[in-house]
């Protein structure tokens, strides 16, 4: 553990983006606990307002889902207090969400290899977008979104073969170093 990162809240929110199975929710929970700030999960917030995502998606269609998802995320991103926010894998598809992420957020793109992702996702069980051929569908979705994840993020962190504790420590250190080097701006995009 590096000194100064454990329990020291960041000045800005930390947002985790990446594909299904990359560890956004589990790493987010560990990181938030480590830093002593709230952990929010966009999918959980959505479900608390609108009901289960698969049902909402089936009932209202993808465009309505994406609009409602942008509204939920926008509400969190409009708040000033630091938190760790885990986004759903497709949240970066929204132009408004991508634009909002460029302000007052440390954004981390979590990557993972396909085999590990599918293991974490129990082979795609309960994930309609992976039905039929989970590996092929996961690769296709990642290919469609990879550039957007990179566009919005400051850092890319591979979660393959690493514990959530190691990942939380690494991300806390990245954020602490970024805030120490430019405390007034907090966020710079490559």
Architecture (CATH level 2) of domain 13-178: 3-Layer(aba) Sandwich (3.40)
Percent of the chain with pLDDT over 90: 75
Record the pTM. 0.90
Lowest mean pLDDT across 31-40, 73-82, 179-188: 179-188
pLDDT of 185 over the 60 cut = no
Lowest mean pLDDT across 3-7, 38-42, 49-53, 169-173: 3-7
pLDDT of 155 over the 50 cut = yes
pLDDT-based confidence at residue 4 (cuts at 50, 70, 90): very low
Q: What is the pLDDT of residue 184?
A: 52
Q: What is the pLDDT of residue 31?
A: 97
The length of the chain in residues reads 190
Which comes out higher in pLDDT, residue 153 or 10? 153
Closest CA to 86 of 59, 104, 109, 56: 109
Lookup result for tokens 């929204």? 94
Q: What is the pLDDT of residue 129?
A: 81
CA distances from 80 to 11, 70, 125 (A): 9, 18, 37
**In DSSP terms, which residues pair with 41 in a beta bridge?**
86
Q: What is the pLDDT of residue 5?
A: 45
Tabulate helix, strand, coil % of the chain (nearest 5). 55, 10, 35
Sequence spans of domains, the chain:
13-178
- Strand, helix or coil at 105? strand
Query: What number is the average pLDDT over the span 122-130?
Result: 79
pLDDT of 20 over the 90 cut = yes
pLDDT of 100 over the 70 cut = yes
* Secondary structure letter of residue 108 according to DSSP: E
List pLDDT tens digits, range 64-87.
999 999 999 999 999 988 999 999
Q: DSSP readout, 132-171?
A: S-HHHHHHHHHHHHHHHHHHH-SEEEE-TT--HHHHHHHH
Please say whether the beta carbons of 111 and 22 come within 8 A.
yes
Q: What is the mean pLDDT of the chain?
A: 89
């Amino acid at each position: 553990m590096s000194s100064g990162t454990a329990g020291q809240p960041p000045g800005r929110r930390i947002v985790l983006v990446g594909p299904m199975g990359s560890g956004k929710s589990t790493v987010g929970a560990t990181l938030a606990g480590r830093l002593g700030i709230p952990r929010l999960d966009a999918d959980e917030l959505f479900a608390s307002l609108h009901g289960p995502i698969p049902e909402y998606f089936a009932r209202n269609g993808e465009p309505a889902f994406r609009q409602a998802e942008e509204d939920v995320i926008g509400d969190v991103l409009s708040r000033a207090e630091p938190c760790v926010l885990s986004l759903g894998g497709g949240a970066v598809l929204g132009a408004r969400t991508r634009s909002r992420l460029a302000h007052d957020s440390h954004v981390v793109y979590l990557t993972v290899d396909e085999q590990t992702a599918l293991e974490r996702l129990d082979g795609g069980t309960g994930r309609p977008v992976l039905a039929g051929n989970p590996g092929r569908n996961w690769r296709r979705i990642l290919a469609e979104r990879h550039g957007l994840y990179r566009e919005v993020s400051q850092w890319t962190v591979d979660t393959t073969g690493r514990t959530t504790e190691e990942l939380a420590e690494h991300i806390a250190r990245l954020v602490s170093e970024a805030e120490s080097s430019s405390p007034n701006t907090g966020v710079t995009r490559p």
